[in-house]
Amino acid sequence: MISFVSLLATALLGLAVSRGYAAYGLERDALHLISRPSNLDRWTQLADTLAVPAIGAVFIASLVYGGRRHVLARVVVLAGFAAAAEVVSEKLVKPAVQERIHGALSFPSGNVTAVCATAVAMWVALYPVLGKRARLTTFWLGVAWTLLMSVAVVGAFWHTPIDAIGSILLSVGIVTAGAAILGSGPVPAPPTTGPLKPVQELERV
């Protein structure tokens, strides 16, 4: 259901943008507030840092942890769906919508798609082996990472807020579709706190 709603919302938003309901009409104030000429270089550097280097670090950390907890296959498969979200964004949605900034196709944002899809995919992949506190912590770190990248690409005047929203919806839709296909995954056995008692002793108790 999450996947269906997210992808439907992406399609509707893309249709609206393609019909002229784009940033310069609906988001002018937000663009002028964030994207100032004096700050363009800073936002660009931040966006570059949050993209490939951060994505690589998160993926490697997830591979290592997933390997230790015996969910490496989940990490790899869901990483594939995250990559698929990026391909769909660049090869299908952008050419279909045809929104442009500085002559380049902009809806949805490739950077935001890559970050959001990675964050969602790795969180879903490791969810079965994370404790409650770790699940909450990694969830909010992913949200912060995605929002910061969204602000950075708008500040650098690469994209508009609507582009970022479309990227988030597309990423969530594709990755959650992959999660539904993959299933919930193994439930780890509770750790043992001491040596097991012989069957005879258990029967006496």
Would you give per-residue pLDDT tens digits along the chain (205 residues)? Answer: 889 999 999 999 998 888 876 555 555 656 666 666 667 788 899 999 999 999 999 999 999 999 999 999 999 999 999 999 999 999 999 999 998 887 889 899 999 999 999 999 999 999 999 999 999 999 999 999 999 999 999 888 888 889 999 999 999 999 999 999 887 655 444 444 455 444 444 344 4
pLDDT score for 157: 83
Look at the chain and report how many structural domains it folds into: 1
**Contact between residue 166 and residue 12 where contact means Cβ atoms under 8 Å apart:** no
Which one, of 3, 2, 31, lies nearest residue 164 by Cα?
31
pLDDT score for 34: 65
CA 49 to chain centre: 16
pLDDT score for 195: 52
Which one, of 44, 53, 78, lies nearest residue 63 by Cα?
78
pLDDT score for 21: 66
CA atoms within 13 A on the CB side of 67: 5
In a domain, 87, yes or no: yes
CA distance 72 to 92: 30
3-state SS assignment for residue 185: coil
In a domain, 73, yes or no: yes
Residues linked to residue 104 through DSSP beta bridges, in sequence order: 101
In a domain, 54, yes or no: yes
In a domain, 110, yes or no: yes
In a domain, 60, yes or no: yes
Range of the domain at 162: 40-182
CA distance 172 to 64: 24
3-state SS assignment for residue 178: helix
In a domain, 129, yes or no: yes
pLDDT score for 39: 76
In a domain, 2, yes or no: no
pLDDT score for 18: 84
In a domain, 187, yes or no: no
CA distance 35 to 30: 8
